[in-house]
Amino acid sequence: MDAQTRAYLNKINTLRFIPIEKLPLSVLRTSPSPYGYESKALIKKTEQISIPGPSGEIPLRIYTPEGQGPFPVFVNFHGGGWTLGGLHNCDGFCAEICNRAQCIVVSVDYHLAPEYKFPKPLLDCYTATQWAAENISKYNGDPKKIAVGGDSAGGNLATAVALMARDKKSINLCCQVLMYPVTNYNFSTDSYQAFAEGYMLTTSTMKWMWENYLSADADGSNPYASPLQEASLRGLPQALVITAEFDPLRDDSLAYAKKLAQANVEVVQITYPTIHGFISFADRLDVGKAATMLIANYLHTTFAENR
């Protein structure tokens, strides 16, 4: 673990926060979150709209860079275990990607569990991606250059959207950016055991988040909830898979990257010596800044190759 992460983690652990699964959702959703930061990245504009969705209106925040366009498009799904988070938590990240990758970013405020259980958050995300493919040209975007991505549960939703787009033969995605994604309803891996407590995200918190997301255990074997359980990953868009070494989700994320590669999907996989959620701490951790730059460069290059 890098020294900066260790110092930050020690500070967090010293505060001895009450585990989030022990607190009411009303408190969690109105309390300040350590995830996210403000960005000073220069972009042309940010606008907020809502689109119709299967569970009601879906708020979107659209970030547009300076320049002529039309710009490629990155559709981003925030993390938070399908239960927490919103547009504010990934605002800094989205602005940085917009500026550095020179792309439009569409940030999706999907409906949250447990009020909206699987597959409702996923269907919101798919609807938003489909909306981008059909409407982003009105915002100076290029509908032929669309990527999806997200962190943690957002990474789960991103790769599930990619699966759904493949299965429906509906949206031709350039790539998927998966940041320490949840890929399997399973808690038996070495990383779930080794990093069960004391490393920001805990195993007990992940169990609670899955309980919020799923209506029944059987849903956990649905590949749209657990992409690692999909029989074939052939035909999915190329992927950047970022993992954290000290993360309960590490092994499932790595297993998914490996399975993508075995299905002849082009994969770039990078593991950083840090903790879950580190990209959301880019204002505090240099490793978060480095990963954000990597993502921006990956998107910029991939979009350029898709002519």
**Which residues are identified as catalytic?**
152, 247, 276
Query: Do residues 285 and 227 make contact, with C-beta atoms less than 8 angstroms apart?
Result: no
Rounded to whole angstroms, the Cα distance separating 31 from 36 reads 13
Pairing of strands 104-108, 71-77: parallel
Query: Do residues 192 and 207 make contact, with C-beta atoms less than 8 angstroms apart?
Result: no
Rounded to whole angstroms, the Cα distance separating 281 from 5 reads 10
CA 226 to mean position of chain CA atoms: 15
Tell me whether the omega of the peptide bond preceding residue 119 falls within 30 degrees of 0, making it cis. yes
Long-range contacts of range 11-16, CB-CB < 8 Å, 24 or more positions apart?
A: 12/200, 13/198
Q: What are phi and psi of 78, to 5 degrees?
A: -70, 160
DSSP letter for 34, please.
Answer: S
Rounded to whole angstroms, the Cα distance separating 66 from 104 reads 10
